[in-house]
A and B are shown apart, each in its own frame.
Chain A
Amino acid sequence: DGGITQSPKYLFRKEGQNVTLSCEQNLNHDAMYWYRQDPGQGLRLIYYSQIVNDFQKGDIAEGYSVSREKKESFPLTVTSAQKNPTAFYLCASSIARTSGGNIQYFGAGTRLSVL
């Protein structure tokens, strides 16, 4: 089945530790995205990538880093510089049509908590 796989489902971070969230898709989509969701808030964009080896910061990129070495994979690292990392993290993918209006398909999410 085609889709987006995020792992792990739950993740715990100790203070000062970097953690990496995995996102893999087999939809053959060029564009991939990372969003953060907090209770009572909409989804906020962290980073997005339109093509391999290229990515752009979203609205809340500080304290996060990404890489896009393969079309299928877009891992997100939550660094120790992110002081409030507790949230639900969602990965999405879409085709990369420049006229916009591209349907984004989401993974099941990773819930990150601080120990």
Chain B
Amino acid sequence: EDQVTQSPEALRLQEGESSSLNCSYTVSGLRGLFWYRQDPGKGPEFLFTLYSAGEEKEKERLKATLTKKESFLHITAPKPEDSATYLCAAPSNSGYALNFGKGTSLLVTP
């Protein structure tokens, strides 16, 4: 069964304290690994798609990387406005819908 697992469930950082979020997957024939940001009470906002091992993408303080079994979302020198839940997802067997992990809730304190 295809699965997407995220860790940790919650992470508290001080402003400027860099860290990484993990997403491991057991999807056969990966056709993309997606990262989303979700603020409380809002819909997920697309961040990145990664397609092959070794691929990296960056956006401001965020960098996503992909290996054959997992992806990392690195947060460099985070700010309080980076506080959100970060979701990881991979395409389901149907090829259309996404299987989501449960997310990592990030809190960055001043």
Contacts and interface: CB of A to CB of B under 8 A. Distances in A.
Interface of A: 4, 6, 31, 33, 35, 40-45, 48, 50, 56, 58, 88, 90, 92, 94, 96, 98-109, 111
A102 B46 CA distance: 11
A43 B87 contact: yes
Given A103-B34, A109-B41, A45 B97 contact: yes
Interface residues of B, number: 27
Is chain B's interface secondary structure helix, strand, loop, or mixed overall? loop
Interface string B89-106: 101101111111111000
Is chain A's interface secondary structure helix, strand, loop, or mixed overall? strand
A56 B94 CA distance: 10
A100 B87 contact: no
Given A106-B44, A108-B43, A43 B32 contact: no
B59 interface: no
